[in-house]
Every structure is written in C-alpha cells, then in structure tokens.
Structure 1
C-alpha cells in the first residue's frame, strides 16, 4: 500500500515535470489568459465550490474543529470572489520569468546576464485553507511552475472541487491541466513521499501550524521554505497616540483572529499604562477577546492571569497575551524571546523610537503605526501569496511571484576560450 502511494505521488510529480517544461516556454499572454479563464470559471461554478465546502464544514463541526479552524476552512461567495480577483490581479503583474537581475560585458567580450527562471515543480503542504489551493495554483502558473498540492483531509471536498475547476480552465486555455494536481490527503505518508522526492520536486512550501511546518522542514530532503507561525506583537510606546493605538490593537487582533498576521501579544509601556491598560482591556473584553494579562492587566478581575506559556502562544482565536514593560528595550527583549519572526508592530510618535524598534527587531515584517494585518501578499501588491516566510535565505516575508523563481546565468560568447595554465 505504501509503495502504491509513493508511486502515485511520484507519478504526479513526473506529470508535473512535463507540464512545467511546457509552462517554461509559455508566453505571458498565454499564462495571463489562463489566469483570467480560471477566475471566470471560479465565479461561474461558485455554487459547486460552496456545496463542497459545506460538506467539509459539516464534517469539521462533527469532528470538533475549533472556531478558528472553521473560519479558515469556510468559503463564501465573497471569499470565492476574492480568490478569483486575486488571480486577475496576478495576471496584471509583470511576468518575473526572464527578468534580468544584473548583467555586464567582460573585458574578453563575454556577455553575462543573470535572469529569473521558474523553480519547476513546487509542492505545497497546507492545512484547512482552501483559498491556498487557488493562490498557490495561480502564483505557480504565472511564475512558470507546476504545483503539487497536498491539502488536509478537513478540506478534501473543497480542494477537490477547486482543483477540478482550475484544471478544466487550464485545458480551456490551452495549457496542461497537470500544471495543477491534488495529492491524496488521507495518509500522512503522501507528505513524506512528496517532501523526499529529490529529483522530481524542486521546492516544498509548508503552510499551517507549527507542528506541520516543523515536520516538513525537519524531514524534507527536497529544499523547503519555512513559513510563518505568527506570534505577533503590538508594542504601544510611551509616546503613542492612544486613540491610534486602540484602533491598531483592535484591528490587529479581531479583524480575523485565525490568520497568522493577527496580533497574539500586546506590550504597553509603563509610562502610558495607567491610562491605556484599563482602556484597551475594556475595548478588548467588549469584543469578546480573552485577555491573558500580567499583574498590571490582571487588576481587572475579568482578565485571566497569564502564564509563561501564554507569551509564546499563537492562539488563532479571540485571545491575547498582554504585559506592561518598562522600556522599549524591554519590549524588544520580550519579542526576541517569544516572537516567531513573522510581524512585529510599534505604535509611537517618537521617530527615534521607531527607528530603534525597526532596526533591532528581527522579523520578516516590522510595522510602524499600522495594523499587523497588512502583512499579506495581496496588501503588498503581490495579488496573492504562497505563504509568509519566516526564514532568512532565498525568501522572507510574503512570497509572491519573484520568490517562486530561481536564477540562471546566461553567457554569450563569440568563440572565447580560457587560456591554459
């Protein structure tokens, strides 16, 4: 049975390689036409997607999935329209393939150019996020890659419907349907076969909880990009405009608590704590957020006393850890000890404090006087994102088209040879 599953995954990878070779030669016009075809098909067949998604939601509720996971899993007509619009935005972006990053002519006349090229076959391993199915397929297509998608069983019906629609649209646009394939999701061994398929798969990107990401990064023999567990902080500095701070904290936390750019921790400078702690506590509690606070926050009996575990928790729910700090340095030290390298924000009117914070905090995105919710490929103008990288090599932060490419050196000569030594 295991050998059969391995062959099934490897056969899909071989088909993807054939498709990737064709995509590498496809013009921008053909790829963009396919993206528009995919977007139109999603809108036309939205009812199919919602019917399939309803089955996944029913099964998820029966299995006791928490509200955060159910929110990630849920599709609506507006959300389907949103991912379709994302495909159209990607179609409007410049094609990264063939972009010349640098070039020169050597003294011997050789012409050098470093150009972007597709990765080839990209594997995605992700949890209950059916929108990732569309985002990954669209970004892979535009960047000339074939996508092998290994979603979770919790989104099986949704992903199956989405991939069927996308494959039909690719064929209608004259591109290979095997540029997008869905791998079996009921046996974890399919993940193992994907992430160890050296020579068949060029890159693997895990997207989900810490357990999934760590398992893929640690076990993969295929190159892997570590994506974002988000223990995200908002630090309210001594000079902060407190009206602004309240808006930013609330938006960062409650706009969509189940996503990785949602704030999970709040740090407040002691100089404004007497005024701001009761104010923000009341505002959070009024919106059903459970506050896990230190002794200063816990003076309000409705606040849950924070434990050491709270400082490092990615809740993905209406919960937030909250603490008073005596200085910006203490806030930075707290973030260094407990942050995940995703997104960190400061609210301040002190330019020097902002510069110190942005310089010292080690994260993929550092935000000054704005919501952490802006760390997103769509908000950054990428149309969509394949994930948010929290590592430092190759890609960091929201990953769009450029991050799905590699480079090659193209060298043009006229018979030049190196002299013998």
Structure 2
C-alpha cells in the first residue's frame, strides 16, 4: 500500500498542464471526466464491461453496488493503479488511461487510510508534497492549511497510533487533498468508523467538497451513505452501470426491478396489466393491474411507455399507511385508493419510525414504515391486530419484469 501511495504522488511540474482546467471546457458541455466504453479483465473474469460515464467538474459522485460489482476496479483505473484493456479515460478531453498515477492530477484516499506509522501527522500530510518537489518555504504553509481544513490543530506531532479512527481518517483526507488534485477518489473511506462518527464525517466531507469545489468520486456499498453524500449515484452490477441518477430519482424512479430491490426496502406484487376495455376507471391517467397477492391495484400511468403486459407493482414501505378501518372513499376517489386487509405479525420500534409486517388475507407479507410524530401511542398497532393497509396510485411504481 505504501508503494502505491509513493507511486501516486506526482512531481508538481509533471501534471501542471493536466491540472489546469481546459479553457474551452468551461464554455462547453464537455464533462471534466469521461469514461468511454472501458473494459477490464482479470484472466477470464470481466470486472468492468464496456462502461461509459460522464462526471462533471465539482460534482460529488458515488459508485454504489454490491461487493464484486467492479466499482473499486473502476476507481483504481481512474487512479492509474490498473490499466484498461479497452476504452478511454478522458480528463478535460485528454486520455489519461495509460498515464502512470504520478502523471495525472488525481489522488486516492485508501480504505484503510495507509498512514505511515513512523511519521507524525504533519509528516504524513507533507509526504506527497515533498515527493512532488514543493519548496520548503511553501510546504509548511500548505500543511498548516490542510491541518486547519480537517480540524487537526494541536495534533501535528502525534503518530497514527496516538489517534482515534476519525482522526486517522482526517489525516488521510488531508494528505490526499494536499496537492490539490482535480479529482479525489475515495474507496470506502468511512467503513471503519462507528455509526455516529460516520454520520458526522459524512457532513464534514460534504462541506469540504463544497468549500474546495474539487470533484469527489466515492465508492461505497452503503446505500444510505451514497444517498446522503452524493449529488448523483451510479449503480453498478456485474461490471456495468445499471442506472445513473440523483438520489431522489434513483429511489422514486428506479430503472429496473433489480435497482428497486437493491436501493432501500420495497414491496413487490407481480401482475398483468388489464386491457383498457376491461377497466372500470373513469379517472385518467390510471392503469389497473391484476396481481396474485393484492387483487386489482390501481397505479399512475408510467411516464415511459410499457412494452410488456407482465409487470411488477412496487411500493416503498413508507408509502403504505395503516389504519383500523381504512380511509373513507367518496365518489371522486373511490378508485384512487388501494386497500388491502391483513394481520400485523411483527412490530419494530426504531425511534424515528416504526416498522410493521402485515400478513395479507392472500398470504403475502406487506411492509409498512410509519413515522413516529408524537410521543403518544396513537396509531400504534400490536401483533395479531387486524388492519387495513392502503396507498394511492401515485404511491406505486410499475416495473417491467
């Protein structure tokens, strides 16, 4: 790991031209970083499969996916520790795919921080600057700026074994930012931190990124981390990008059933779209879908035309409301509310919200998540209690199988 860090630290003059923003880029729609049909094989295994992606300057971008999906391999190709077998990696229009790590204005913060145990905080931060040939008169000023940036004042002389996990993470971050890279790559940077520290560090990273304007690309398998920090998320599976979207778009409008199941909790019912002539709906735009486990479910007309009649109806648990008798429909909304009856089987109190599992009369299980907005036990349901679960057509997503 130390060898990779040493290889990645550039001479300042070696990347001077690449480190400058291209003058024409600001006046065009050219992204800062363009990954163009990149392929990477390890023996007979294809880790990255013809992947293409554009990342804008100043963006906080997350690569999200299960273990082994290729996200870390992609990050290492951006850093220069792996070379693509095919495709291009363009930084401001210049292909850097075959450049050595020290020849590109990109730096990487490693998952285990990779601090030098024999060096102080100050010397760990200064390491890359010394290798880059920074003048001694400037080095002290830059290190002091980085120490202040990550709030480590007073700890400059400590060794890594005298620091907490969060402090080590800040030293690694300061060292990665010290040479002011155009792109900072973060490989699971918060994985070793406990929950409270991870949440506070997420906020600090976001504030740092806004303050510096540096493009951050983070790799994570933690959905909440990606949704909290990133302005856009690329979901990977088997070496390919399945969807690139904002956190809200990814959650509310997943491109496939796989993404709907991977990102957050979801209720799914398989069904068939009823033909128009069989529908008794006067409201538009609405679809009626006959499901095995929930009967006829009314859903909002999808924005994209459907190509199949076999579909899945997806409802997020927080969209499922529970009541003892259900909402009272009137003539205008009689078909606008989907009602399912069942028995509460499990209750989980999680502080801010309570989760319920309801076994429907059909035998299927429906999950509901209810915000705890009061301290009183209003609308609290006990196991074995009969309830009505209800949701509107706009609460549903229609996904082709």
Shared topology, TM-score over 0.5?
no
Which one has a larger percent strand, Structure 1 or Structure 2?
Answer: 2
Higher normalized contact order (CA 8 Å, seq sep 6+, divided by chain length): 1
Which one has a larger percent helix, Structure 1 or Structure 2?
Answer: 1
- TM value normalised by structure 1: 0.29
In our comparison, the structure showing a higher alpha carbon Rg is 2
